[in-house]
Amino acid sequence: MNILVSLTAALKIAGVGALLSLDRTAWGQLMISRPVVIAPIIGLLCGNGTVGLFVGVLIELLWISDLPVGAAIPSDDTLFAAVASGVITTIVTSRGISDPVSIGSLTFLVFATMIPLTSQGKKIDILVRKYNERILTEVETHLLVGNPDQAVSLHLKGLIHFLVCNFVAILISSAILLLAMPHLHSLIPESIQRIMNGLLIIFPLVGIATLLSGIHKKNILTLFILLALGFSFLL
């Protein structure tokens, strides 16, 4: 994959990813920013919505219990999903990869590379929030003196800070991975790729273990059993 194609794809991923990431906490909160939603959207944009959904489900299970509730700031799974789904689907589409083992090993490779970077996304979120706190005093001042238009402008400025920071983070991450991953993946022997594909089961198992850890609470166990029996009956 040449530099021009990689940069074009990275710009596309960053544009859509940054816009949808505003739904995380800054605007809307309609759950569009959840990995299981944003990943197939970006995957479809990059040529393969099915692979995007596959990536999104794995990421959703991995961080299913890490939610932005109250003052808690979780790891940025939205940024992770946008970059991972965009990079994986772009490489799969551009190289015509259809072998499940190759797709699985590529997914594992991208995940293994990106997971250490999720804390950086969290740090970016914290920095933007701290910077936007400075705007709050100005907004209150303009409202008290009867200048709501200026207050609205400052509020939109806070949204733009989130948008720009997420755009830059996704753009840089996507561009680097799009340039490096095809070459790195091609160097891995087929036997190792099969092992990496098998190791993908780790990600859903982590999510399932997290869900089961609270299964004794609030009659969740009864609901889980009923759903399991219903699913078995349908099969």
Listed by start position, the domains of the chain span 3-126+163-200
Note the pLDDT of residue 144: 66
With a cut of 80, say whether residue 171 has pLDDT above it: yes
With a cut of 70, say whether residue 104 has pLDDT above it: yes
Q: What is the pLDDT of residues 152-169, one digit of tens each?
A: 666 666 777 788 888 988
Note the pLDDT of residue 91: 93
Note the pLDDT of residue 12: 92
CB within 8 Å of 233: residues ≥ 6 apart: none
Q: What is the pLDDT of residues 32-70, one digit of tens each?
A: 888 889 999 999 999 888 899 989 888 887 777 666 555
Mean pLDDT for the stretch of residues 179-189: 90
Residue 83 confidence class, pLDDT cut points 50, 70, 90: very high
Q: What is the pLDDT of residues 86-97, one digit of tens each?
A: 999 999 998 888
Note the pLDDT of residue 142: 61
Residue 2 confidence class, pLDDT cut points 50, 70, 90: confident
